[in-house]
Structure 1
Amino acid sequence: MFSRFTFSFQSNGAEYPVNPTTFDPSLSSRALPAPLYGGYHLDLIAPGSVTFVMYAPHKPFVSLVGDFNNWNSRANLMVTNGAGVWWTTLPHPGPSRYGFYVAVDEQSDVWVADPYATEVRWEQTGPWAWLPDIETLRRRQRFPWQDEGWRTPRLAELVIYELGVRDFTGRWQDNRPVYGTFSGVESKLDYLADLGVNAVELMPIQQFPGQSSWGYNPVFYFAPAQVYGTPEECKRLVDGCHRRGMAVILDVVCNHAWGEHPYYRIYPPLYGPQGEKWDDFNPFFHHTPDAVNMWGGVDWDHFTPETTRYFQAMLRHWLAKYHVDGFRFDWVGGVDYDSRAPMQPGFNPYHGIAALCWAARQAKPDVIHPATARRLVGRNRRPIR
């Protein structure tokens, strides 16, 4: 029989339990009180508590690591629901970087950030998710939106201005680049409104590696790029657009991610002793010789329910938390779809771009859905409406 343990950590002279429930070292299965697959969740278990969730099916061990436990991979062991969801709850530890220690198999492990991170701190030790202090989290829940009467323009009425945040208000200073920001774009909204624009399409703003990019190398899909500003500044930009009669469309890259993505590090390709590719179960990415595409990204497998669920959650996140009006899908040819005719046996539209558009439209019936129109399977696809 295993003995039972509780863990605690000290912060500012006070001692806090890591998990409000005791648990066996064998990490016997426990169900979450809500169907969650990632991120942190304030007040879910008790007022002032934070529940951390990580989806890592077929992995034998996951623990929570961060500044609050000195990155000790044995301090905050997570329990699993038996279906790939790992979780733990603790009193809010204060502002902190955090991530997860994951046993990939019996011989290897990785330290990764939260794939659902809503803020990221990218440092020499790698990217880490960021947990703000509890006052900031409460303030964000009460963000003073002023777009209550806003209505998204009809498709036929759209006059779209596409811009990259980095370049739109970027400049050179002291012989070095100073990159544009959300606040910088917000300061130019009157100029855009005077042009007669009623929609602003932002080139990808989701967290990418480094400080300078057009954003087509995404890693953290739920987080605005740190170099552009804070989540509050991103919300103020959207709010400012709406108050001037302009919709906001996000350019999103769903066909590939960069190799720093936590799921790719948890589920890496497997090769034999002669370099041959081994078949493996990967719930997120294609693992074929050409899975690293011409741009250097790794291709998502949109025929898996795990990938579909992840991207549907991402779209809902930006619609609900940031009030965006739509998404411009980059390179839809790389977002898997069933190319058979709808009347053919076995046709299933609930994959890839169809599943993403369905989820977005369920959340916002008037969502805008432009997309890259390129030749696919011998014919031209029209922009998605």
Structure 2
Amino acid sequence: MIQSAYIHIPFCQQICHYCDFTKFFYNEKLADEYMEALANEINVNVNGKNNRVKTIFIGGGTPTALNITQLRQLLELVNEKFDVQNCEEYTIEANPGDFDAEKIKLLRDFGVKRISLGVQVFDDKMLEEIGRLHKVKDVYQTIDALHQQNFSNISIDLIYALPNQTLENFRHTLDEAVQFDLPHYSTYALQIEPKTVFYQRYHKGKLHRPPQETEVEMYEILRNTMRQNGNLQYEISNFAKPGFESKHNLTYWNNEYYYGFGAGAHGYMPGVRTGNIRPLPHYVKQAMEDGKPILNTERIGLKEQVEEEMFLGLRRLAGVSKATFTKKFGFSMDALYKSAIDQLVNRGLLANMEDRICLTDQGLLFGNDVFEQFLLDDDILVHLR
């Protein structure tokens, strides 16, 4: 069974300086064309109506940048193709101040259950410096408007290690964020990605990030603050009240299958990962022609499945279950990784328990160093099957 559906809406009112997702300035005519192409892609690839999926996530870009007619069209499409009523988690991304009471009511009426708000930082000057349109007051107004429409499952995204951000700045953002007592928080260290404004500034020496030691200290402050406010860490960058972990993101980390629709979207079907065309005109043209706007296809063999099971699973604080690993692949984790596990345990980066392995507190700080130890030689699996 395909566990989840991801639908990408690439439009924004403004392009943030750090963002490398597929995104374009909102244009009503282009958005109309995109919605038609998106509908064709979904209809070609999903047969029938009311298909069962565990989670639906509409991301971007900013989905709520669509006008009310386009947003309704999108929600009608989702409701026709998927069994929204029995979906465990139906999320849409939004920016504070980007949608009004009419749009919020529309989301509620069409069965959206969870809102993910791109807050990023509680500092008006810093919001402007990273290219955000909203102000701190918009966060308060938006969350209040959501509560008035009976939305309680709200998550906010935060970014730290921003240019010129100090420990004091970050503490202030966290203190303001947790006073909302929301059920979920996602908090990421800034990554300098190619083809972004920040990337250009960084390579010109005009972007001054906090030193790595400060970033590490920010992460420790983050973990402590979240724990003190009853938000349990369940993944490297994600914290939630018990029962409010992101089921959609757990699909990714559990290495399960999901649809990916829209420009630049990625999907994972049995044996294959796909990545869609990113440029809008090319995506629209191909999606309208045959509903298959795929840029690249990667065959996922046993080697890749095993590696991804480890990379993705170790992002969760629960780690990777040894029993689940054996059930999936027909051989034990130790048969393949005993030496690597022992070395990582000796370095204090990994905990090896009877039923699972997981990152230690130190391992959380150096996850990439751990993950690379689980890369495999091409022929190593031959004798295990």
Q: Give the TM-score taking structure 1 as reference length.
A: 0.28
Tell me: higher relative CO, structure 1 or 2? Use CA pairs within 8 A at least 6 residues apart: 2
Q: Which has the higher helix share?
A: 2
Q: Give the TM-score taking structure 2 as reference length.
A: 0.28
